[in-house]
Structure 1
Amino acid sequence: MASRKNKKPSIPFRLNVLFFAVFILFSILILRLGYVQIVEGDTYEEDVNETASTSASRVDAPRGIMYDRNGTELVDNNLILTLTYTNQRSYEDEERLQTAEELAELIEFDEEETDRESMPERNLQDYWLLTREKEAEELVSDKEEQRLMENDKDPYEVQLDRITEEQLNDISDEELEVVAIWSEMISGYYDSPQRVKRDLTEGEATAISSRLDELEGVDVTRDFRRDYQYTQAFQSLYGNVGSIPEETVTEFLAKGYQRSDEVGQSFLEEYYEDTLRGKKGTVSGEDDDAEETNNGSRGNDLVLSIDMDLQREVQTIIDDQMGQSEGAFPNDEQAYVTAIDPNTGEILAMNGYDDQLGNVTNTFEMGSTIKPATGMIGLQEEVITENTEINDTPLELPGGVDVSSSHDIGTVDVVGAIQESSNVFMSEIAMRLMDYERGDGANFDLDKVDNSYDTMRDYYSQFGLGEETGIDLPSEATGLDGGTGAPGSLLYFSFGQFDTYTPLQLAQYSATIASDGQRMEPHLVKEIREPNRNTDEMGAVLHQFEPEMLNRVNIDKEYFDIAQEGMYDVVNTDLGTADSYFTDVNMEIAGKTGTAQRSIRRESDNELVEVNNQTFIAYGPYEDPEIAIGVVVPNVYVDDEGGRSGIANSIAADTMQAYVNLKEERPGAGSSEDDAEGENEEDGENAGDEEESGGDEEEQ
């Protein structure tokens, strides 16, 4: 056995080296800290004192301006003064309340902001507890409070529950303004300015500014309010600006926003937020002398594709036509028009009767406007030819499915079927797609039926029906896909009474036919431009949106020619379903009427009534299209119920003529603000409320 004296040390040599290295590092660190504290301490202390005496705050910058395609200013900014409050954790509740009471003597809130009924009850309760301390203590005894705390329950929540309505009514009307101000003050985030009142009067701003040294956390800052022009004709699509939604705060903070910033909350303002957002300036102050060091810059400007002259003309047309149709609707009146340049996808006008947004959010059965596509499907799938003739007489299928046109047309080919709007011809295409012939009884091959639904829906989607259009807005509806229904429903599907689509999709479909199958992405913005600070003219182009083709419809050009011929005949021949409406239009156009019949509940008495959706598509000039439109007027009484036929046709004809008139002699680039306001007031007198989507009626 080896002797103990011969054993190696228990601590290895490498560990000793490690200990020594750590000792050296700590020694260096201690020496460095001593140097910083002793040698450079005075220098750092001076830097801290200088920083403490200098404050910097960010100053809001205006958002970008919006123009129409002709340079007419649509959205600008008005400079206003805003009262802000920066809440600090160190402030006591009593201090905040005292500040609110002092501000109540200096500013006035609107009556609706100080209305007791509209105020959140929790705000009133919190204020009552804060200002009625003795009564608040009586709501929970000391013994009960101790017991609640032992059981991890908050006595404050119990107090809130026990405040009676009578006690809240004890808050006087004078106090309600304090409550409103105090609520705004504490609704923001700590250390971040919260807007308490925007657009201060000159007197209010002066009074507050003279007492800023007494009002802890209060400031008066420059701010901007969006100024929207032509609100009757286009308001909905501008969107709006407001506080950052709570669910997106983290996202915006990561982009460099402050919690108190305002952002685009809907539609164009939201979609182009990154473009329109201004770059904030900074104000630095040293002691009592403030000096603005960076003015910031306005956001980039948008040039819309909208022609505001055409937009206003179409709005007047819709209002006039709807005014002539009083009593023709069982419920709220609706009407929509979208006009597109079929070559670029640029939206020239997007109008609605009190609602432009319905063009992208509401969906309807579109009726016989779908027939040009159905005719092309039959040709492309080779179940008919250009020379196929079908006898248009009422059709009966098993299961109680009856199909007829508005009248017995007789023998008709595909061009005539579009021209005279034959439901029977389109139904024949659907039957041939599912390999069914008249007289086969109930012998349907259900697999072929399902495949026929898929085939038709695939073609329709290539035209943009039932598909996202790609418009530059935060969201859009795609319509209702009816799935694969019964064999008889396929027949109704063939002439537009099964799936639902948006008015924008209908307009895109019209434009796709006009362009021989090129489905262009629609957009509301043409260009992004730099802000021009020195003149009233627009700045340099930063980005120009090029036309983008989403897809080409998989149908031969010769079949587009056939469908277009049928659409030409609709408005240019005696047998056409809309010839009488377009005799005064000074442009050679093609179009297609549509109606879709349905039943709805009349809201006034809950009775079931018969209505139809009137629709129309058109484009022109016929040989070289510049404009394509889709018109939808849903839920009109059928004629024997007091309805008025042809509303959509009349709107379409007047819209196309308005386009011609503007081309021939365009008015000035835009009206003044006063003219715009006058237009809004006049239009507002005839405006009706817009509602949700409806169904459709069968075409005439």
Structure 2
Amino acid sequence: MKEKFIRPVRIAIIMLIPVLFASISLLALYNLQVIKTDYYAEEAMKTVMSTETVQSSRGNILDRYGRLLVSNRISYNITIDRLRLVEGKKPNETILELIDCVTGHGKQYTDTLPISLSAPYSYTKMTDIQKRRLDNYIEHFDLGENISAADLMAYFREHYSIPADFTEQQARLAAGVRYELETRDLFNTSDYYFTEDINSALIALLAEKSFPGVSVKTSSVREYHTAYAAHVLGRTGLMDEEEYAYYKTLGYPMNAIIGKDGAEKAFEEYLHGVDGKRVTVSTSSGDIVNTYYKDEPRAGNNVTLTLDIFCQQVAEDSLKNKIEQINQERIVQFEEDKKSGKTDKDEPILAEGGAVAVIKVDSGELLALASYPSYNLSTFSEDYSSLLSNSLAPLYNRATQGTYSPGSTFKLVTATAGLQEGIVQVGTKIHDKGIIDEYEGYSYKCWIYPGSHGDISVKEAIQVSCNYYFYVVGSSVGIDKLSSYAAAYGLGQPTGIEIYEETGVLASRSYKERVIGEKWYVGDTLQASIGQSYNLFTPLQLASYAATIASNGTRYSTHLLKTVKSYDGSSTVYEYQPRVLSTVNAGKDYFDAIHEGMLMASLYGSASYAFGNYNIKVASKTGTAQVKADDENNAVFIAFAPYDKPEIAVAVVVEKGAAGWRLADVAKEIFDYYFTSKEKSSEGENIIVP
């Protein structure tokens, strides 16, 4: 066999190939590890750092016995990233589909564009915030301050590229959301939550749909553990522009949740925590390599109120039941009168609302502050429209904002002034003539006229509420000194409470001349002496007045704040100390006489049906205040107990309640709870209220 001859050149080439590949590899490795070491190291270590705000927990609110009233829970909210929405396909169609998803699950969404939802387009009623935002938008895009709603919608169609085949209503819906998103970006206002507090089913649907720019974020929302004390506890919410102008000076971010009213607002400085900053470090490929807090979030402090929530429940329920009882009786009577022809009216006059205040005599602590009608904080958002349209104004806190003529409860001021100024002594008798008619064209009658109470002392005058006695004493004291004593009692004055209150009106010479523009007459003094004239006081002021009488003239600042502790309870941040606002300058013997007159009113007067055989001695005074000649009178009742060693004072007011004595059993139910109820808890007990 002939052998093949292999040329040396081929052998050399074959041998050089692996050497060449090895050399190339070595060169590449050298280039990587030596020449471009720094370059590739930098590329490998390139990371992206993002910072996000971590919402702090708001402090809890508890009652005086540690019962949890308000806390926090996690809420899932829909947010929209405007840029990602617009960069996605068909953003307007996405908005309509998102609206369908949300409304299909029974949720509402945020659309504050003040234009009607269908053509012909018109501007709707605006809040100050809505108008300011719309004006800013129109000015920013130079649309003309007089642009019509129809022309603005035409602009929206073009500006937001809303398809021509959208109906007018669809165009309005899409424009509303686009407007919300754009105005918040343009004017740097609060974050836009499309929908808040959604359920797991809607979360799953959104995950399935995967809308561009739409995501679900968590936040902390308030959870209420009681259906009572709505006006006292108050609400939280996002800031409007005016609120932000103030709170940004305190370092609040635009999307911070603040207290809007009640205790939530009054104690914002304690309840509000400090948000944290969390940094996430990820590689250029998106892998997270580290997460850390730049600033740790700090929870707000826990606020303990002076309220006893069970006492609050008794006050609210008793007041509600009393008003319903009065109205039911009137409806029955009206139907009877209608059948018999005794009335030609179309409907009965009904009691409309009322309030109760309960105060600890020796400190000014508020145990209960009830207003009727009320509302449920847990369903406030859902109920908001109906609450606003309710003619009885359930959002109105009658206990601190309602002002009422005190009626005969004011006679205790006149008694104090008469005794201290030496007009009468404890044993002085005044003969009740029934009527004062010495002033030309005017006469002032005792309620018993044409009868008479005969010769009567200050104690007896309080018991039977003799108008004539207090006319005589009041006219002798004079309006200047009378109003001075009333002010010392806190009537027509700030009570010191931390939530918003009206100060009312104290009848005086200066008030009539300054406000009414008329001269003060003796007849005005007579009317003021029995609680009429211009006197208008809040139920809280009346309760403070009763407590001041009970404490022999020491008026404490009323207050809701008891203590503030750190979120974990480890330290006390603040503890309230009782504060005296004023002192009524009158002798103890005079207060003893007033107390005795109030006791006699409870035992033998019109309130005896409630307290005549009661196991605790109660000092009380009724008041019936005329509002209009053809309308029912307002009813007023004040009391304190026990008579010999006062602990708490109560004031009850019912609009169109007719007579003060009818309210005595409301106070009685509160006394029943406070002095005998087994539901009273010891200090430190921590119970979630059902």
Which of the numbers 581, 584, 607 marks the counterpart of 1:578?
607
- Deviations for 1:634-663, whole angstroms, at most 9, x for unmatched residues? 2135xxxxxx77321221222222222227
Q: CA deviation at 1:465?
A: 0.5
Whether the 8 Å contact between 1:279 and 1:297 is mirrored in structure 2 is yes
The equivalent of 2:447 in structure 1 is 405
| In structure 1, distance between residues paired with 2:254 and 2:529 | 53
Alignment of 1:462-501 (within 5 A): 462-479=488-505, 481=507, 483-484=511-512, 485-498=520-533, 499-501=535-537
Report the Cα distance in structure 2 between the residues aligned to 1:510 and 1:318, rounded to whole angstroms: 19
Which residue identity does 1:194 align to in structure 2? Y
Q: Is the 8 A contact 1:369 1:594 kept in 2?
A: yes
- CA pair 107-655 structure 1, distance change in 2 beyond 3 A: closer
The answer to whether the Cα contact below 8 Å between 2:121 and 2:149 also exists between their aligned partners in 1 is no
Matched to 1:562, the amino acid is A
**In 2 relative to 1, CA 539–186 (structure 1 residues): closer, same or farther, beyond 3 Å?**
farther
**Residue 511 (structure 1) aligned with residue 511 (structure 2):** no
Distance 1:200 1:666, change over 3 A: closer
CA distance, structure 1, for counterparts of residue 593 and residue 64 of structure 2:
34
The 5-angstrom pairing of residues 417-436 of structure 1 reads 417-433=461-477
1:306 alignment partner, SS class: coil
Identity over aligned pairs, percent? 26
For residues 464 and 428 of structure 2, the distance between their equivalents in structure 1, rounded to whole angstroms, comes to 16
Equivalent in 530, 547, 555 of residue 586 of structure 2: 555
Give, in angstroms, the shift of residue 321 of structure 1.
Answer: 1.9
Instruction: Verify: 1:636 aligned to 2:660, yes or no.
Output: no
Aligned match for 1:335, one of 354, 362, 368: 354
CA distance in 2, matches of 1:510, 1:645: 15
Whole-angstrom CA distance in 2 between matches of 1:429 and 1:305: 39
Check whether the contact 1:530–1:539 (CA below 8 A) recurs between aligned residues: yes
Q: Counterpart of 1:100? A: 95
Alpha-carbon distance, 1:589 to partner = 2.0
Equivalents in 2 of 1:162, 1:84: separation in Å? 26
Give 1:69 shift. 0.6
Q: Choose the corresponding residue for 1:277, options 234, 252, 272.
A: 272
The one-letter code sitting in structure 1 at the alignment partner of 2:460 is G
Residue 238 of structure 1: how far off its partner (Å)? 1.4
Residue 211 of structure 1, CA deviation: 8.3
| Pairwise CA distance, 1:223 | 0.5
Q: CA deviation at 1:215?
A: 3.2
Matched letter for residue 71 of structure 1: G
> Equivalent residue for 1:201?
199
Determine the structure 1 residue equivalent to 2:230: 235
Counterpart of 1:624, as a letter, is K
On the 8 A contact 1:209/1:220 being kept in 2, the answer is no
* Whole-Å separation in 2 of the counterparts to 1:549 and 1:302: 23
Deviates more, 1:580-589 or 1:369-378: 580-589
Cα gap change, 1:286 to 1:112, in 2 (>3 Å): closer
Matched, 1:300 2:301: yes
**Is the CA contact 2:622–2:660 (under 8 Å) kept in the aligned structure 1?**
no
* CA–CA distance in structure 1, aligned partners of residues 152 and 296 of structure 2: 52
Alpha-carbon deviation of 1:404?
0.8
Say whether 1:291 aligns with 2:291.
yes
**For the structure 1 residues 544 and 90, does the alpha-carbon distance in structure 2 shift closer, same or farther, using more than 3 Å as the test?**
same
d(CA) in 2 for partners of 1:459 and 1:645? 23
Matched residue SS, 2:481: helix
Mark the CA change 1:632 to 1:332 in structure 2 (over 3 Å): closer, same or farther.
closer
- Residue aligned with 2:71, SS: strand
Q: Distance in 1 between matches of 2:574 and 2:237?
A: 27
Rounded to whole Å, the distance in 1 between the matches of 2:527 and 2:243 is 44
Change (3 A) 1:306 1:298: same
Aligned to 1:622: 643
Q: How far does residue 431 in structure 1 lie from its aligned partner after superposition?
A: 2.1
Q: How does 1:49-128 map to 2 (within 5 A)?
A: 53-85=48-80, 87=82, 97=92, 100=95, 103-104=98-99, 107-108=102-103, 113=108, 120-121=114-115
Helix, strand or coil at the partner of 2:184:
coil
TM-superposition CA deviations, 1:287-319 (whole Å, max 9, x none)? 332735366232111111111111112222222
**What SS does structure 2 have at the residue aligned with 1:598?**
coil
Closer/same/farther in 2, CA of residues 518 and 95 from structure 1, 3 Å limit: farther
One-letter amino acid of the counterpart of residue 549, structure 2: I
1:256 to 238, 248, 251: 251
1:87 CA displacement: 5.0
User: TM-score if structure 2 supplies the norm length?
Assistant: 0.73
Specify every segment of 5 or more residues in structure 2 that has no aligned partner in the other structure, as ranges.
1-37, 123-138, 158-163, 331-347, 375-395, 513-519
Partner SS, residue 626 of structure 2 = strand
Q: Secondary structure of 2:427's partner?
A: coil
| Matched residue, 2:487 | 461
Residue 154 of structure 1: how far off its partner (Å): 4.6
Alpha-carbon distance in structure 2 between the residues aligned to 1:123 and 1:88 = 25
In the alignment, which residue of structure 2 is the partner of 1:543?
574
Please report how far the alpha carbon of residue 241 of structure 1 lies from its aligned counterpart in structure 2 after TM superposition: 1.1
CA contact (8 A) 1:330 1:636 kept: no
Aligned-partner Cα distance in 2 for 1:413–1:360: 35
Q: Structure 1, residues 103-159: CA drift from partner, whole Å, max 9, x if none?
A: 44764477684799x96317879999xxxxxxxxxxxxxxxxxxxx9xx87599468
SS state at 1:592 partner: strand
8 Å Cα contact 1:67/1:73 also seen in 2: yes
Aligned to 1:215: 212
- Aligned-partner residue type, residue 522 of structure 1: T
For 1:617 and 1:158, the matched residues in 2 are separated by: 57
1:656 match:
671
Residues 184 and 195, structure 1, Cα contact 8 Å, conserved in 2: no
Task: Verify the 8 A CA contact 1:529 1:539 in the aligned structure 2.
Answer: yes
Alpha-carbon distance, 1:252 to partner: 1.2
Deviations 1:11-47 (A, max 9, x none): xxxxxxxxxxxxxxxxxxxxxxxxxxxxxxx99xx99
2:424 to 357, 376, 384: 384
Which one-letter code corresponds to 2:408 in the other structure? S
- How far apart in 1 are the matches of 2:476 and 2:547? 28
Q: The residue matched to 1:345 in structure 2 has which SS? A: coil
Is the CA contact 1:67–1:75 (under 8 Å) kept in the aligned structure 2? yes
Give the letter for the 1:620 counterpart. A
| Cα distance in 2 between the residues matched to 1:65 and 1:104 | 34
TM-score by length of 1: 0.72
Write the distance in 1 (CA, Å) between the matches of 2:644 and 2:632. 36
- Aligned-residue offset at 1:387: 2.4
Match of 1:679 in 2: none
C-alpha deviation, 1:331, in angstroms:
4.4
The residue number in structure 2 matching 1:688 is: none
Whole-Å separation in 1 of the counterparts to 2:105 and 2:202 = 14
Distance 1:326 1:494 in 2: 31
Q: Name the counterpart of 1:186.
A: 182
Q: 1:78/1:311 Cα in 2 relative to 1: closer, same or farther (>3 Å)?
A: same
Contact 1:188 1:260 in 2 (8 A): no
Report which stretch shifted further, 185-194 or 523-532.
185-194
Contact 1:365 / 1:500 at 8 angstroms: preserved in 2? yes
1:672-691, Cα deviation, whole Å (9 max, x unpaired): 56xx3xxxxxxxxxxxxxxx
What one-letter code is carried by the residue in structure 2 that aligns with 1:599? K
Q: String of CA shifts for 1:534-561, please: whole Å, max 9, x gaps.
A: xxxx553221111111111122222212
User: For the structure 1 residues 664 and 264, does the alpha-carbon distance in structure 2 shift closer, same or farther, using more than 3 Å as the test?
Assistant: closer
Mapped contact 1:308–1:349 kept (Cα < 8 A): yes
CA offsets 1:590-620 (integer angstroms, 9 cap, x no match): 11111122326xxxxxxxx242222111111
Query: 2:677 aligns to what SS in structure 1?
Result: helix
Aligned length: 562
